[in-house]
Amino acid sequence: MRKKIIAGNWKMHKTIAEAGVFLRGIQGHVPSRPGMEIWIAPPFTALHACMAFVKQHDLRVVIGGQTMHEAAQGAFTGEISGMMLRETGASFCILGHSERRALFHETDGIINAKVRRALETELTPLLCIGEKEAERESGDYMNLLELQLASGLAGIETAHLKRLVIAYEPVWAIGTGRTATPEVAQETHKKIRGFIARRWGESIAGSLPILYGGSVKPDNIAELLDQPDIDGALIGGAALEVRTFVAILNNVEKV
Ligand code: 13P
């Protein structure tokens, strides 16, 4: 049985005070079901405060970063290392998000270096892949997704891939309200898992959680999670408000 993960990516939202209000708001709504984890990626500045909150209130929420630098340390003004993330108590780091690829020019090579550094630092990489609208329409989006996986994971020992989580986030569905239908998402997840099986073996493919991201909302979470190859969700907008996030958690409980 693969674990299920409901992850919130706050992007560049929430001060420390706002993060506290959110975590207080979801207290009492976090599912206690074994095998189900709730992850939140706050901005760097709120990481430490969020960790302190979850520890103090025994909240079953896993805290992680949204990006990190690939070097261990150095003259990289404004950047944050994996060790710095670890020290705040972060357990995972989102890597290769389409916003990082498009707005901050992260290539598959850079993302690969980040994934390796995260593994070395004992952070779980949450590696995001996803095609743009034109790539979906052209029909050969799988080539792109396979390339993102093959280059993002190049040179990593197969045994280490057990510590990885993948998020499939079609770029055309992010922040647009145009979520992939459960059928389209399932079909793509199945193909992604098939590629992983061919490349790294059935055992890794069978145990690797693959999350879906892109306009996940309270009213579509259940049908998405119902699909056999969808192991959870990476949520942006609907993970910012207590009301919508709690509604998602409640609907997940019913699946
Ligand atoms: P939305 O849920 O706002 O579409 O964002 C998805 C996302 O980018 C999560 O990383």
**Using one digit for the tens of pLDDT, what is the confidence trace for 81-116?**
999 999 999 999 999 999 999 999 999 999 999 999
The percent of residues in the chain predicted with pLDDT above 90, rounded, is 95
pLDDT in tens, 170-195: 999 998 888 889 999 999 999 999 99
Please, are residues 212 and 224 in contact by the beta-carbon 8 Å criterion? yes
Location of structure tokens 């942006």: 236
- Nearest protein Cα to ligand 1, atom 5: 236
Question: At residue 69, does pLDDT exceed 90?
Answer: yes
Question: What pLDDT shows up at residue 255?
Answer: 81
- Every domain of the chain and the residues it spans: 4-252
Q: Is 216 in the pocket of ligand 1 (CB under 6 A)?
A: yes
pLDDT in tens, 200-239: 999 999 999 999 999 999 999 999 999 999 999 999 999 9
Of all atoms in ligand 1, which is nearest to the CA of residue 237? 3
Of all atoms in ligand 1, which is nearest to the CA of residue 128? 10
Which residue spans within the chain are E strands per DSSP?
4-9, 36-41, 61-65, 92-95, 124-129, 165-168, 210-213, 232-235
- Is 120 considered catalytic here? no
Q: Which CATH number fits domain 4-252: 3.20.20.450, 3.40.50.2300, 3.30.465.10, 3.20.20.70?
A: 3.20.20.70
Distance 215 CA to ligand 1 centre (A): 6
Pull the structure tokens for residue 116: 């390796």
- Is 13 considered catalytic here? no
Residue 63's closest CA among 33, 83, 36, 93? 93
- Which residue in 37, 131, 169, 189 is the catalytic one? 169
Of all atoms in ligand 1, which is nearest to the CA of residue 98? 8
Q: Which of 40, 169, 219, 248 to mutate to test the pocket of ligand 1 (most atoms within 8 A of CB)?
A: 169
Which residue spans within 101-241 are E strands per DSSP?
124-129, 165-168, 210-213, 232-235
Distance 75 CA to ligand 1 centre (A): 31
